[in-house]
Amino acid sequence: MTIQLGIFLALICAFVSNLGFFFKHRGAAECAKVDIRRPFRSTRNLYSSKWFAIGMAIATSAWIFHVAALAMAPISVVQVVLAGGVVMIGVMAQRLFGVDVGNRQWWGLALTCLGLVLLAVTFPTNHDGAHSSFSTPAMIAFEAGLFGIGGLLIMGPRVGAPAEHHGVMLGAAAGVLFGVSDVAIKALTGIAGHEGIMAIAASPWLYVTIGASVAAFFSSARGLQDGDAVSVIAITGTAANITTVAAGILVFGDPLPGSTLGIVLQGLAFLLVIVASAMTPAPRAAGAAAAPAAA
């Protein structure tokens, strides 16, 4: 029953999290560009928008649901459920926020959804607990690797990536860094369960959670300013889901599929998500398309 409750909380989190992202996108678009060299000024500018402030309040409630879900179910199960939130993005964009979703974006969402469905159906069902125990060396290596990937994505054009895709890359960086935070939070739930809640304050994973969350906050806000809503929100959620599912297997020992076919299908699922990410239109093209309509 505990795992089922965790799955239910993850479903709520998926909807609320996407809702918060759309409000944050509306608010961030009204603000001056985020400059990580001036974090306090950038934060003040963002929170000066009521829409961004509302989005952050909604995102905080989603985070609470997420932490509760992680405490009750294996991280890979929670993230596969959260991945279903990608299906909601296009519909929410058009119905609730009046965002025009182009054909390439719909195809990207469809491929992402297909990849996540494959990931879900190939996951073993023989989970017997929250799977909060972890290997410290594996945890350190995994989190350090993700920090490195997130840093490269943030640098973007400085390391040779196309400048027109930087908004989507920042969204991916935010997703990876949110994944770092989620993995650390999962570790903290295990520490609290074994050593008591006071042990969290002495754990280095608390400070990893805070650092990754702050970096993800600025990356996400700037990505929402530079990219279109659907593409950035989709890639942020997908990057976070993939990294944390991988952590469930590599760090927390969640089981792999029991057959060669299952492993191959999981590989195909990850490939579909990567292809879908590459299909998202560049922000410059989206802006150019929107200009005649505005005129």
**DSSP codes joined into one string, 154-166:** HHGGGGT--GGGH
The closest of 209, 89, 234 to 143, measured between CA atoms, is 209
- The residue whose two tokens read 């759309």 is 22
Which pLDDT tens digits describe the chain residue by residue (295 residues)?
577 787 788 888 888 998 999 899 889 988 999 998 899 999 999 999 999 999 999 999 998 998 888 888 777 677 777 776 666 777 777 777 777 777 777 777 777 777 767 766 666 555 555 556 788 898 999 999 999 999 999 987 777 777 777 888 999 999 999 999 989 998 888 888 778 888 888 899 999 999 999 999 999 999 999 888 888 888 898 888 788 878 887 888 766 666 777 778 767 776 776 666 555 544 333 343 333 333 3
Check residue 291 and give its pLDDT. Answer: 37
Whether residue 114 contacts residue 122, with contact meaning beta carbons closer than 8 Å, is answered with no
Residue 227 is given by DSSP the state: S
The closest of 84, 79, 74, 80 to 2, measured between CA atoms, is 74
Check residue 131 and give its pLDDT. Answer: 56
The secondary structure of 156-193 as a DSSP string is: GGGGT--GGGHHHHHHHHHHHHHHHHHHHHHHHHHHHH
What phi and psi, each to the nearest 5 degrees, are found at residue 30? -85, -10
The closest of 120, 177, 172 to 147, measured between CA atoms, is 177
| Tokens of residue 214, six digits | 């702050």
Residue 288 CB-density burial (10 A; 0-12 exposed, 13-18 middle, 19+ buried): exposed
Check residue 295 and give its pLDDT. Answer: 33
- For the beta carbon of residue 13, count every other beta carbon within 10 angstroms: 24
Angstrom distances, CA of residue 152 to CA of 2, 160, 231 = 38, 10, 19
